[in-house]
Structure 1
Amino acid sequence: MENATYIALSRLDTEQRAMSVVANNLANASTAGFKGEQVLFSDYLSRQSASGLPPGGDIQSYTQDRATFRDTTQGEFQQTGNPLDVAIGGDGYFQIRTDHGVRLTRSGRFERLTDGTISDESGNAVLDTQGNPIRLNPTDHSVTITSDGTIETETGIAGQIGIVTPADENRVHQEGGKLLRAEGQTTAVAAPKLMQGALEASNVKAMTEMTRMMDIQRNFQFIAQFVESEATRQQDAISKIVQNQS
């Protein structure tokens, strides 16, 4: 196999990775708090040591998948009227206690469990500023959440929603459409800006992602055709060599 085919295959591999990321973005275009992802590619340069190379032929450029990064742009706020729905303005994440440990999320679609615990849609407890689950009293019916996350009811203050930021945004990993796993420490946001009765929509622009997907498909098809034509050319060359030697 010639180097041209290897170079083309490296691009095919990265295009396939890009398609997977775009497909995941589209699948979560309506997921509250979801942040779209993009891939970062770069050139991997390989110097050739053979003699008699044509001008410019001493370097080969392969496509390399460097990283996937999240777009942390604020999504639009959508009014819901549900007193337990909360949107974060600016930086920060809610803390959710799951069976696998504490996770972060921007999705503030919360509900009340039978024991009064405020949880996400999967039943995972929402944590306060001390890292403890927030529970309402059985007699609490009127719930007010202030901009700093303080939860007030007719019986008093039930707690304060903890909002944190990870030490390194580049070390935050997606787990499904809503949860994030942060490596390292998190820091409490000193002055969070929360809005009750609203949700932050996904920041994915469906039309933009569809356009990106079509571009990736065209590139993939073009490169695949090139690889196929190269394979045919090599097979024809081998056949001619065998014929000449027979």
Structure 2
Amino acid sequence: MDNTLLVSLSQQLAAYRSMEVIANNLANLSTPAYKREEVKFQQYIQTGQPADGQTGRQTVSFVKDTGIVRDLSEGHLQTTNAPFDLAISGKGYFVVQTAAGNRYTRDGHLTLNGDGQLVNGSGDPILGDGGPVTITADDGDIHIASDGTVSGKQGEISKLQLVNFADERAMQKEGASLYSTSQSPIAVEKPYILQGALETSNVEPVIEISHMIEVMRAYQATATLAQSESTLKQKAIDQLGSVPN
């Protein structure tokens, strides 16, 4: 396979990967606390011997994606007035108890399950200092203070765990807004939780669509280059075939 085709394929694969990530960002536009992602690319330069009739070493540049970078900036705060919608302002993650172990999220769109436990959209309990936060009918209207203290008419029920990590970018995403990590959680010293609100996705649709258009143009330009190269080679072959012996 010649260098032109290799370069073209590497750029087309990079564009395809970018399109996948952009499409996923747009699909999660309405997912609370979703963090937009983008592909990180690295350029590889390969040198070789000059082709026939050329002088100097040949240099070929290939592009390869080396991973996904997550934008950790906060989304906007959206008021919902739902008693179990919680938004984290500043650093921190809620602790979620799953069958696979503790996981972490900033998605505060919570509800009560049949046992009165505060759970996320997948039905996994949200942990307080004493384990899953459980609310009974006798607790009446629930108030959740900015420090995470959950109270009812009979007094304090629990206090939500809010933790952070030394390297947030090293956390592994599971689904749209759940994360796992081998790092030890660090309790947030001054948590700030807003009841009746949600953190929105930090995806800006206009920017994502603009990026999508740029990637599509780059893909088309690369495809055109590859097609032109193929056409030139075919013409050369045809001309050689028509030369009389």
User: Could you tell me which residue of structure 2 aligns to residue 229 of structure 1?
Assistant: 228
Q: What per-residue deviation string (whole Å, max 9, x for no partner) do you get for residues 214-244 of structure 1? A: 1111111111121122222223333334444
User: Could you tell me which residue of structure 1 aligns to residue 174 of structure 2?
Assistant: 175
Q: How does 1:1-246 map to 2 (within 5 A)?
A: 1-50=1-50, 54=55, 57-129=57-129, 132-244=131-243
Kept after mapping to 2: 8 A contact 1:171/1:183 = no
SS at match of 2:82: coil
Distance 2:151 2:236 in 1: 79
Go from structure 1 to structure 2 and tell me whether the alpha carbon gap of 1:80 and 1:49 turns closer, same or farther (over 3 Å shift).
same
Which range moves more in the overlay, 112-121 or 175-184? Answer: 175-184
Distance 2:240 2:169 in 1: 53
Q: Structure 2: which amino acid aligns with 1:115?
A: D
Distance 2:54 2:148 in 1: 66
Query: Pairwise CA RMSD of aligned residues?
Result: 2.0
SS at match of 2:96: strand
Distance 1:53 1:146 in 2: 74
Gaps spanning 5+ residues in structure 1: where?
none
TM-score calculated relative to the size of structure 2: 0.91
Distance 1:183 1:227 in 2: 45
Q: Structure 1: which amino acid aligns with 2:88?
A: I
Shift of 1:26: 0.3
Q: Structure 2: which amino acid aligns with 1:239?
A: D
Distance 2:187 2:49 in 1: 54
Kept after mapping to 2: 8 A contact 1:129/1:163 = no
Which range moves more in the overlay, 15-24 or 102-111? Answer: 102-111
Shift of 1:92: 1.2
TM-score calculated relative to the size of structure 1: 0.91
Percent of matched pairs sharing the same residue: 34
Shift of 1:41: 1.2
